[in-house]
Amino acid sequence: MDGTTLAQTLGLLIVLGFFFVLLAGLYAAFYAAGRMFSNPWLVRIGYLCGLGQFMAAMGMVFSGYLDRFWVYLVTFAALAYLVIPPIMWRIVLAFHRLEESHHSL
């Protein structure tokens, strides 16, 4: 791989990594806001950000430049993050219900 191709590949990985992190945060923020305000559009926007985050991860995975360890790590992180906001939402609700039940006693 010549220097120009390497620089372009690394540049692409940096951009994809930036969007991976940005879209993961937006997914969590829109999903939580949508649930908090009972707004299905915000939840849908969150899911679109989650899809974008997953696509950015797959762009990194299929770049052909990452070592096998990083391919597995990025794939695992992308798949895990698709389910983290809904699971965390349920956990937060359970904690609030538990706290409310303790205050009502």
Q: What is the pTM of this model?
A: 0.86
**pLDDT score of 1 more than 80:** no
**pLDDT score of 105 more than 70:** no
Measured between alpha carbons, how far is 45 from 65 in angstroms, rounded to an integer? 31
Measured between alpha carbons, how far is 59 from 9 in angstroms, rounded to an integer? 11
Both tokens assigned to 38: 């009972």
Going from the C-alpha of 32 to that of each of 16, 51, 81, 88, the distances in angstroms are 24, 16, 14, 9
Query: pLDDT digit string (tens) for 25-83?
Result: 999 999 999 999 999 999 999 999 999 999 999 999 999 899 999 999 999 999 999 99
Measured between alpha carbons, how far is 61 from 78 in angstroms, rounded to an integer? 10
Query: pLDDT digit string (tens) for 11-40?
Result: 999 999 999 999 999 999 999 999 999 999
